[in-house]
Amino acid sequence: MTDASMQNAEPGRHSVSLMATDEHTRKRARAEKRFRAYGIVAIATGLFFLVVLFTSILKEGIPAFTRTVVSVDFTLTEQQREESEGVLLKTKAYSDLFITALKSKLDERGLNTEVDEVAIERLLGKVGGTIRTFYTQNPDKIGEQIEFDLAASSRVDGYFKGRVSRDTIQDSRFLQKSDLELVDALEEAGIIKQAFNWPFITGADSGVDNPGGAGIGASVIGSFFMMLVVLGLSLPIGVAASIYLEEFAPRNRFTDLIEVNISNLAAVPSIVFGILGLAVFIQFMHLPQSAPLVGGLVLTLMTLPTIIISTRASLKAVPPSIRDAALGVGASKMQAVFHHVLPLAAPGILTGTIIGLAQALGETAPLLLIGMVGFVARGYPDGFLAGFTEPNSAMPAQIYTWAARADAGFYEKAWGGIIILLMFLLTMNIIAIILRRRFERRW
């Protein structure tokens, strides 16, 4: 052995003090420091943009959660109802009745008695329809005094939220400079006030000229039914496919081809799935247009590769010794997989599924092609099964629709919708993390 030679210093070897670092070591230390600095800069940049994103979303979106309401006591008599129903423009008739009531109220209080009906009409949103719907649904309320909280028109709402000011306002049929005096007076009288915008969270989309009445609730329901379809189809199909490919399928050229294709499918642009869904599900299979069922089917196609890839990864991560152990005591392959491998892979599968669902929840492009955009969500579906087939929108599609509309009130709604969508996504991700923590087992 070389024990003897170790004792004597080898010839040609300089004795170097450990106290002084040599040039080579310094160079490496500098490189390491630089690399750390890059990393910190990268993270800081990421965080900065995240903060910018969140502040801008919150700043633009928070106003969507408050609304300006005109609160008026109103009584509809049976005779008035009959007269209104008798004319051609029914909602206009109701609207006129309401404006008259409001005006008389103003007169009582001695406020701006010179304002005309047209000015009041400009302050209110589309009140006639709301009132008529209320009395159609609650005919027993006719004759009673009801306090209506009606959404003010978009411009008035904008005046309260700072979108519209005396300097920027231009006289138009929507709102005139002189109207703002009336608005201020009404606010003092407590007739116009700010309130939490429940209809935004629970309501359905409104027409293009009525941003005050627009709500995201119906499209939340649409998204919910789509997610049910996606979960119900992609989880069993995806998990079954992954188990077969990972545990049972022979390794040959054909399965290699399938593997490559699944990886490629995960990278296919979502709009391609949309046009596929349009061609197959709607034009060929004649499933209802704009239905969450079709949306769910399209999103299932999109989510499957994600679920298959993550499921296979988590199956692969289960140590082979567990399979050996099960086979060694005489378990069949299927028993080994279902009794031992699958429970160990479950946290990974669940996480992958939830991430896939979250991705599907935020997907807009394929929904454009199957008609889930535009003014489709008129209200809640009638019952559970109808939820799958009745035309509806989905959250991201609804946001897209609002963002595309002209009225600034809708722009604000779009940001508010984004906040709600992000809340759902955040919740799903938190659930994924909790599930992973909860079911993770060490061995």
Partner 1 sequence: MNDMSRVEKQVDTKDIKLDCRDCQVYYGDTHAIKDVSVDIEDKTVTAFIGPSGCGKSTFLRCLNRMNDTIDIARVEGSFKLDGEDIYDKRVDPVQLRAKVGMVFQKPNPFPKSIYDNVAYGPRIHGLAKNKAELDEIVEKSLRRGAIWDEVKDRLDAPGTGLSGGQQQRLCIARAVATEPEVLLMDEPCSALDPIATAQVEELIDELRSRYSVVIVTHSMQQAARVSQKTAFFYLGNLVEFGETGQIFTNPEDPRTESYITGRIG
Q: In the β-sheet with 145-151, what is the strand arrangement from edge to edge?
A: 145-151, 66-75, 192-196
- Least separation in angstroms between CB 347 and partner 1: 12
Check residue 45 for interaction with partner 1 (CB under 8 A): no
Assigned token pair, 222: 């649409």
Q: Which is nearer to partner 1, 325 or 434 (by Cβ)?
A: 325
Specify the length of the chain in residues.
443
Q: What is residue 341's DSSP assignment?
A: I
Check residue 257 for interaction with partner 1 (CB under 8 A): no
Q: Which residues contact 436 (CB under 8 A, 6 or more apart)?
A: 347, 348, 350, 351
Check residue 436 for interaction with partner 1 (CB under 8 A): no
- Per CB under 8 A, the list member of 92, 105, 323, 436 interacting with partner 1 is 323
Check residue 339 for interaction with partner 1 (CB under 8 A): yes
Q: Which is nearer to partner 1, 344 or 357 (by Cβ)?
A: 344
Which stretch, 42-50, 151-159, 302-310, 314-322, contacts partner 1 (CB under 8 A)?
Answer: 314-322
- Per CB under 8 A, the list member of 325, 386, 423, 433 interacting with partner 1 is 325
Check residue 327 for interaction with partner 1 (CB under 8 A): yes
Beta-strand runs (E) in 29-133: 66-75
Check residue 251 for interaction with partner 1 (CB under 8 A): yes
Identify which of 70, 80, 170 has the alpha carbon closest to the alpha carbon of residue 126: 70
Q: Which is nearer to partner 1, 318 or 372 (by Cβ)?
A: 318
User: In this structure, are residues 288 and 389 in contact, taking their beta carbons and an 8 Å threshold?
Assistant: yes
Look-up of token digits 């306090």 = 147
Check residue 193 for interaction with partner 1 (CB under 8 A): no
DSSP string, 391-442: ----HHHHHHHHHHSSSHHHHHHHHHHHHHHHHHHHHHHHHHHHHHHHH---
Check residue 83 for interaction with partner 1 (CB under 8 A): no
Check residue 258 for interaction with partner 1 (CB under 8 A): no
Which stretch, 70-78, 186-194, 333-341, 367-375, contacts partner 1 (CB under 8 A)?
Answer: 333-341
- Per CB under 8 A, the list member of 185, 280, 331, 425 interacting with partner 1 is 331
Q: Which is nearer to partner 1, 39 or 319 (by Cβ)?
A: 319
Check residue 335 for interaction with partner 1 (CB under 8 A): yes
- Least separation in angstroms between CB 278 and partner 1: 42
Check residue 316 for interaction with partner 1 (CB under 8 A): no
- How far is Cα 17 from Cα 19, in angstroms, rounded to an integer? 5
- How far is Cα 152 from Cα 103, in angstroms, rounded to an integer? 15
Q: What is residue 69's DSSP assignment?
A: E
Rg (CA), the chain: 32
Assigned token pair, 422: 């992000």
DSSP string, 396-410: HHHHHHHHHSSSHHH
For partner 1, the binding residues in 342-361 under the rule CB under 8 A are 344
Q: Which residues contact 227 (CB under 8 A, 6 or more apart)?
A: 296, 357, 360, 361
- Least separation in angstroms between CB 439 and partner 1: 11
3-state secondary structure of 192: strand
- Least separation in angstroms between CB 337 and partner 1: 12
Q: Which is nearer to partner 1, 380 or 439 (by Cβ)?
A: 439
Which stretch, 135-143, 192-200, 213-221, 331-339, contacts partner 1 (CB under 8 A)?
Answer: 331-339
User: In this structure, are residues 432 and 351 in contact, taking their beta carbons and an 8 Å threshold?
Assistant: yes
Q: Which is nearer to partner 1, 36 or 339 (by Cβ)?
A: 339
Residues β-bridged to residue 152: 124
Check residue 73 for interaction with partner 1 (CB under 8 A): no
User: What does the binding site for partner 1 look like in residue numbers (CB under 8 A)?
Assistant: 250-251, 319, 321-333, 335, 339-340, 344, 441-443
